[in-house]
Amino acid sequence: MHHVPTIDNIQRAPKVLLHDHLDGGLRPQTVVELAEQTGYEALPTFDVDEITQWFAAATEAGSLEEYLERFAHTVGVMQTTPAISRVAAECAEDLAADGVVYAEVRYAPELSTQKGLTLDEVVEAILDGFRQGAARATQAGHRIRIGVLLCAMRQESRATEIAELAVKYRDSGVVGFDIAGPEAGFPPTRSLDAFEYLRRENCHFTIHAGEGFGLPSIWEAIQWCGAARLGHGVRIVDDIDIDEDGNATLGRLASFVRDRRIPLEMCPRSNVHTGTVPSIEQHPLALLRRLNFRVTVNTDNRLMSQTSMTHEFDTLVQQFGYTLDDLQWLTVNAMKSAFLPFDQRLALINEVVKPGYAALRSESLFGTVADHTTSLISRA
Ligand SMILES: O=c1[nH]cnc2c1ncn2[C@H]1C[C@H](O)[C@@H](CO)O1
Ligand SMILES: [Zn+2]
């Protein structure tokens, strides 16, 4: 017997988010209010409905470069410490309300230095905001553990400086490092010094790779730079052959990624919006899940991609018939892959994630007979 999860089940299920951009998840209302408060005049409109639509147009972008253009205006309103803290606090609250129990949210501090803030001030404002937001979420009945991944922008040359910042704040809420921005023309080895430094410092890092560019980018991220996880990693399917009977043959790189259990931070809806995959239906997530890669599901940019963890999971339920068991598998994968000490990961899996899914499964055993005929479907 398999329980087909309802949207309410999915919303209440404990979820783990490893790939979400702070500047990709602002509330539209907050964008407008912060623009007014901080004197940012370049917003295309100050009407909340219109700005919502304007950001949502990113869903039609079709290329990573065009998708990324929308960030100029979220970054534009994140140039003071109160503004950054507010964005971070609301992020923690919104994720918690969506049932996310553990999150690693990323941001490139260098983007918030346009009006003179230092990198340290930016990081401290984020951490302060997360503390406030997590406290408010607890009061509202939703507990969340939230940390920061510091990004360097691939097209700039500040990766080592940002890597040093990640090490400096590693005991204060920064859990690791990443590089983001346009992928084509900016290979991971461009930042090799930063990754070598992080390895010497025993610091965790992930790399956006296999989204806007293909296998060479994934290969460099893993074999040259030593990434512990892959941001997206979608193009790893280019190294997998499927014959007419559906049998898969893995190339050496795909085998390595699977053998080493390298987590793929997949962001299904964002991948459609950036033109990385043509549709959710054709997203390689289902194949990679079937082949037992360590797949995780993420939001990437909740504002630009009009999404949430609940929405991403619901999309998979609708598209691939995923059950609560599948959603638990994806969540445990994500929790296993977090940049958190191992004992804490284990505790969250055993004391929060598994009991949460067990409670949802047991709910389906009760209720009326009529409920059961509609909510329980036998796939045996
Ligand atoms: O999907 C993405 N790929 C590469 N870079 C991205 C993606 N989504 C957001 N970014 C960029 C834009 C942001 O300004 C930056 C830091 O969060 O990261
Ligand atoms: Zn991303």
Question: In the structure, which protein residues have their CB atom closer than 6 angstroms to any atom of ligand 1?
Answer: 21, 23-24, 64, 68, 71, 75, 106-108, 111, 151, 180-181, 208, 211, 270, 300-301
Predicted complex: ipTM over 0.85 = yes
**Rounded distance between C-alpha atoms, residue 180 and residue 228, angstroms:** 15
- For residue range 95-114, what is the model confidence (pLDDT) as tens digits? 999 999 999 999 999 999 99
Q: Is 283 helix (H, G, I), strand (E, B) or coil?
A: coil
Strand ranges (DSSP E) for 22-116?
100-107
DSSP 58: G
User: What secondary structure does DSSP assign to 24-50, as a single string?
Assistant: G---HHHHHHHHHHHT----S-S-HHH
Type of residue at 48: V
Residue 211 falls in the annotated catalytic set = yes
Q: Is 372 annotated as a binding residue?
A: no
Neighbouring residues of 318: CB distance < 8 A, sequence distance ≥ 6: none
User: pLDDT value at position 370?
Assistant: 56
Inform me whether the pLDDT recorded for 165 exceeds 80.
yes
The CATH fold of domain 7-361? TIM Barrel (3.20.20)
User: pLDDT value at position 71?
Assistant: 98
- For residue range 231-245, what is the model confidence (pLDDT) as tens digits? 999 999 999 999 999
Position 365 confidence tier, pLDDT thresholds 50, 70, 90: confident
- The full set of domain ranges for the chain reads 7-361
DSSP 165: H
- For residue range 83-97, what is the model confidence (pLDDT) as tens digits? 999 999 999 999 999
Ligand nearest to the CA of 23: 1
**Rounded distance between C-alpha atoms, residue 345 and residue 90, angstroms:** 24
- Name the active-site residue from 90, 104, 211, 312: 211
Whole-model pTM? 0.96
Q: Is 311 annotated as a binding residue?
A: no
Please answer whether residues 16 and 353 qualify as being in contact, where contact means their C-beta atoms are separated by less than 8 angstroms: yes
**Rounded distance between C-alpha atoms, residue 83 and residue 142, angstroms:** 23
Inform me whether the pLDDT recorded for 380 exceeds 60.
no
Ligand 1 centre and the CA of 276: distance in Å?
Answer: 14
Ligand nearest to the CA of 213: 1
Angle at 276 (CA atoms; ends 271, 50), nearest 5 degrees: 50
DSSP 191: G
pLDDT (mean) for 1-27 = 93
Which of 151, 178, 183, 267 has the most ligand 1 atoms within 8 A of CB, as the residue to mutate?
151
Q: Looking at beta carbons, which pairs linking 160-166 to residues 24 or more positions away fall under 8 Å?
A: 160/191, 160/193, 160/194, 160/197, 161/119, 162/108, 162/109, 162/110, 162/119, 162/194, 163/194, 163/195, 163/197, 163/198, 163/203, 163/205, 164/197, 165/109, 165/119, 165/120, 165/123, 166/198, 166/203, 166/205
